[in-house]
Structure 1
C-alpha cells in the first residue's frame, strides 16, 4: 500500500453539522448518495466533492457518509467502534490514490474504500458498512417523495483551489469533471492529465468502470456495471454465506438479498418476477413487497482491484451473470 501526504490535514473540510432541506439547486442528473433513513437522505456528489466526509447522526445513530472522487468511492459507515463514537476528517493523505480519513478521537488513519484503520491506536479495526445507494437526483425525488437533501455550507476547500490552500467553494463548479471524462486514473492523472495515469494491465474492464463491491463472510466480490448491462442487467451469486441479486439499472447498481425469484428484465430499471414488477433501484415491487438492501461499496474498478486483487470480480466475468436460479444444494459458490 502506497501512502503519501498530498495536502494539509483538513484542507478539505468535513461537514460535521449537516443541514437538510427538501429543495436542491443542482442539476436533475446530479448523482446523490442515498440513505434509506427516516426520512430518506440524499448527499449530492456535487457537495461531497468539496468535503468528502459528512459526519451525520440519524437520531442517535451516528454514520459517516464518505466519498473519494479519485476512486469514485461512495461508502457509508457506522461511526461507533468498540462503544466509542468517532468523528472523521480528511487527513490529506492518499493510500493507493484513495482517501485516508482520520478520526479526531484517537488520530488513527483509515483507508476510505476499505473502512480499515491502517495506522494509529485503532490500527486493524474495521468500520461497519451501512446499506446505501447512488441515484440521480431526479430519481431520488421521484422514488422518495418525503426525502431530504444535504445543503451547501459556507466553507473553504482545497478542492476549490489551484494550489494546496483552501479557497471559497462555488458548488456550481465541478472540480473532477475532466478527471471523470478522461481514461487515466489516480491522483497523477487528475493533476497531470492522461500521460500521468497509472498502468492498467487488463483489457476486459476499464479502470474507471463503476463496480458495486460486496463483502460477506470474509469474501469480497465486485459486480462491474458494464458486465451486468451486457448480460441483461441482473446477476445472482453467493457471497460468503449470503445469496445476493444485483441489478444494473438506469439509476446505477443495487444489491439485495436474493429471495430466490427468477428476475427477468422488464424495462430500463425494472425486473419481472413472481407475477409482479420490481424496481431494481429500490427493491420495491408493485404488489407492496420490498427486498432487503445489502451493505455495499460503490467505487471504480481500479480501487476495488487495489483492495482485493484482480480475481475479486463476479466469477468468469459475464459468464456468471443472469444464470438461472439453482437450489442451494447445486448452486455454485463464487470463488
Structure 2
C-alpha cells in the first residue's frame, strides 16, 4: 500500500514472530496440537525454541505439497527471523527451488501451479492473520468452500481493516471554492442523475474508497492505487445497501473490499463477493460510469460540479502527486502477481472493457493508442461500441449499434458517416432527432493488474 504504511508493515512483519510471545492470544498456551495445520501454527504460537524446532522437524518428516503455501506464509511474516530462514531452507530442500528469502519468487512458484491446500487451510490462514487484526479471522475461517478465488493467492496488503480509511459521506464543495486545485490536476469524475461530482486523485489516493449518495443513489467508489483502477458501483443490490470497506487484503495485486454485515470479501474489479457467505447468492453491484480527466476539463464540462473538500476529517498531505509518489515513479510492482505480460509496461494505462453479455471476452485498449485515435470503434460478440477520447486522454464508451462515426471534436460533438451530429453527454450520446445511445460502463487500469485478473484478455495497442 502507501510507502509510509509499507514501512509500518515491515515492522509488523518482524513483530508477528518476534512479538507474538507477549502480544497475541495465540500465545496463551504452550501445549501444542499435533494436527498438520498446527505444525505451522505452533511455530508462531510459542516462543520456545525447542517447541519451534520440534514443529519444524515434524513438518519436514511429514512434508507434502499442501505444506508449501503455509511454509511460505510463515516465512513471509518471519523472514527476518531465524524461523523464517529455516523455513526458507526447508522449502528449498523439499521443492528443489533456490529462491532463498525472496518470497515474491516463492509466491510466483506456488501460484503458477494448481492450488494445493489442506482441507482446513482456511483455519490456518485465519489464525495466522488475526494477530494482525482480530477482524481478519472472520474473512477466512470456515469459508474455504465459499470461495470463488484461490485462497492461497489472497495476500495481506500491509494494513488493518479500513487501515486506509474510506471517505464516508465526505464533504463536497462547489467548484468555485476548490482553490486548492489546479486545472491540470487529475480528478475522477462521475455524474449520476445529473449530479456531477469530482474526486481528486490527490485526495482519493489516501483513502482508496468513498461511500456516498449521489443523484439519490447510494454508491461505492473504489480506487485500487496498486492496479490503477477507479470503479463506481451502485451499493444497493435487490434492496440491500451494502456498506463496503477496505479489507486490507489483495488478490493478484487488486484490492479486496469487504461488506460490514457479513465480512465477506469482494472483488474490486467485478463488484461481487468472492469469499464468504454471500458467495453464490447472485449478488453483484451494478457499474456506474467514471472518467479520469483533469480538473480544468471536468469543470468546463460541468460548471455546476461539486468536488471533495480538503476537510476530510483526516490529517494527510493532500498535495498533488504526494501519495504513492515512489510507486508511480517506476514500473516496479509493490505486490507481485503470478505472471506479468510484456506486451505493455506493467503500469501502462489501458481502457478495460468487459461487457455483461460477453464476460468471457475481456478487452484492453492501450490509452496511448486511443490518444492517437480519438474515435475508435469495434465489437465484442454482437455488441458494437465506440470510444471517444478527448484532449486530456479521457475515454468515454457508448453503444454504437448500427452506427459508424468518422469524427469527434474531442469535446461534446461527434459525427457519424451519415453526417448526423451527436451530442456527447456523460451518460449517453444523442442526435438532433432524439435518438439516444447509452454509455457503456468501463474504467482505466494498469495493464499488469487487468492482465493478471483476465489472462486471456484481448489487447489493442
State TM-score, norm by structure 2.
0.58
| Paired residue secondary structure (2:287) | coil
Q: CA deviation at 1:229?
A: 3.4
1:47-58 equivalences under 5 Å are 47-58=203-214
CA deviation profile, 1:218-263 (whole Å, cap 9, x unmatched): 3322222123334x23222223443211123323221111154432
Q: How many Å separate the matches in 2 of 1:180 and 1:281?
A: 31
Q: Counterpart of 1:245?
A: 386
1:33 to 188, 192, 202: 188
Confirm or deny: 8 A CA contact 2:212 2:220 kept in the other structure: yes
1:275 to 403, 419, 436: 419
Kindly tell me: are residues 181 and 17 of structure 1, through their superposed partners in 2, closer, same or farther at Cα, counting changes over 3 Å? same
Kindly tell me: are residues 211 and 106 of structure 1, through their superposed partners in 2, closer, same or farther at Cα, counting changes over 3 Å? same
Q: CA deviation at 1:271?
A: 4.6
| Paired residue secondary structure (2:222) | strand
Q: How many Å separate the matches in 1 of 2:287 and 2:224?
A: 15
Q: Counterpart of 2:452?
A: 306
Q: How many Å separate the matches in 1 of 2:342 and 2:271?
A: 26
CA RMSD of aligned residues (A): 2.7
Confirm or deny: 8 A CA contact 1:212 1:254 kept in the other structure: no
1:14 to 166, 187, 192: 166
1:257 correspondence with 2:432:
no
Kindly tell me: are residues 254 and 59 of structure 1, through their superposed partners in 2, closer, same or farther at Cα, counting changes over 3 Å? closer
Kindly tell me: are residues 248 and 198 of structure 1, through their superposed partners in 2, closer, same or farther at Cα, counting changes over 3 Å? farther
Q: Gaps spanning 5+ residues in structure 1: where?
A: 157-167, 189-196, 319-335
2:310 to 106, 129, 152: 152
Q: CA deviation at 1:277?
A: 6.0
| Paired residue secondary structure (2:371) | helix
Q: CA deviation at 1:29?
A: 1.6
Q: How many Å separate the matches in 2 of 1:140 and 1:118?
A: 34
Kindly tell me: are residues 263 and 62 of structure 1, through their superposed partners in 2, closer, same or farther at Cα, counting changes over 3 Å? same
- Bigger proportion of residues as helix: 2
Q: How many residues align?
A: 294
Q: Which structure has more RCO (C-alpha within 8 Å, separation ≥ 6)?
A: 1
1:115 to 271, 274, 297: 271
Q: CA deviation at 1:90?
A: 1.0
| Paired residue secondary structure (2:210) | strand
Q: Gaps spanning 5+ residues in structure 2: where?
A: 1-149
Q: How many Å separate the matches in 2 of 1:93 and 1:303?
A: 15
- Bigger proportion of residues as strand: 1
Q: How many Å separate the matches in 1 of 2:410 and 2:235?
A: 36
Q: Which range is displaced more, 59-68 or 290-299?
A: 290-299
Q: CA deviation at 1:199?
A: 5.8
Q: CA deviation at 1:101?
A: 1.0
Q: Counterpart of 1:81?
A: 237
Q: CA deviation at 1:287?
A: 5.9
2:327 to 179, 182, 189: 179
Confirm or deny: 8 A CA contact 2:167 2:312 kept in the other structure: no
2:346 to 207, 213, 226: 207
